[in-house]
């Protein structure tokens, strides 16, 4: 028997790794969405939403989501449904806030920025709400 087979990871390991993997997937989806959106609309203000902020922001948010899932799973008997509800509600609140962001006085750029931000929020929120628990609860998995 191999000693590596006997090693047991801490409880938080799988949810945090699932959060990081979901963060990578969501980052890629957000970058594709950003490129497609900018190509279709001609939106060109990269100060707030750019490749760097998408990668670091999405990874950080999904890492936090994995940590929250680990804590909820540790202290609640059936944590998956409350976790999903929590992150769906948080995503909807963030979408609502994103719809009221005033980035510039130019109406066209303001609307395009809101559309870009809402798309990034939805992709990140859906990944946090559904991909993290899916990856954690899979019997055999990527993580």
Tell which wins on pLDDT, 125 or 138: 125
- With bands split at pLDDT 50, 70 and 90, how would you rate the model's confidence at 46? confident
> Residue range 134-140: average pLDDT?
85
User: How much is the CA Rg of the chain, to the nearest whole Å?
Assistant: 18
CB crowding 2-34: b at 16 or more within 10 Å, else e = eeeeeeeeeeeebbbbbbbbbbebbbebbbebb
Mean pLDDT computed over 88-97? 98
> What's the mean pLDDT in 87-109?
94
For 37-40, the CB contacts below 8 A with 24+ separation are 37/115, 37/116, 37/119, 38/116
If phi > 0 it is left, if psi is from -120 to 50 it is alpha, else beta; for residue 42 that is left
pTM above 0.95, yes or no: no
| pLDDT (mean) for 13-41 | 96
Q: Give the range among 56-65, 90-99, 116-125, 131-140 with minimum mean pLDDT.
A: 131-140
The predicted model gives 29-42 an average pLDDT of: 96
pLDDT digits (tens, 9 = 90+) for 108-118: 999 999 999 99
């Amino acid at each position: 028997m191999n000693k590596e087979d006997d090693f047991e990871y801490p409880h938080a390991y799988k949810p945090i790794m699932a959060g990081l993997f979901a963060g990578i997937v969501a980052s890629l989806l957000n970058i594709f969405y950003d490129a497609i959106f900018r190509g279709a609309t001609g939106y060109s203000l990269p100060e707030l939403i750019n490749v760097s902020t998408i990668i670091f922001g999405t990874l950080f948010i999904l890492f936090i989501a994995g940590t929250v899932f680990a804590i909820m799973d540790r202290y609640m008997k059936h944590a998956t449904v409350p976790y999903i509800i929590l992150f769906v509600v948080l995503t909807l609140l963030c979408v609502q806030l994103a719809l009221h962001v005033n980035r510039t006085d130019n109406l066209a750029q303001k609307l395009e920025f809101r559309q870009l931000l809402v798309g990034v929020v939805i992709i990140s929120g859906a990944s946090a709400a559904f991909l993290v628990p899916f990856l954690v609860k899979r019997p055999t998995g990527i993580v």
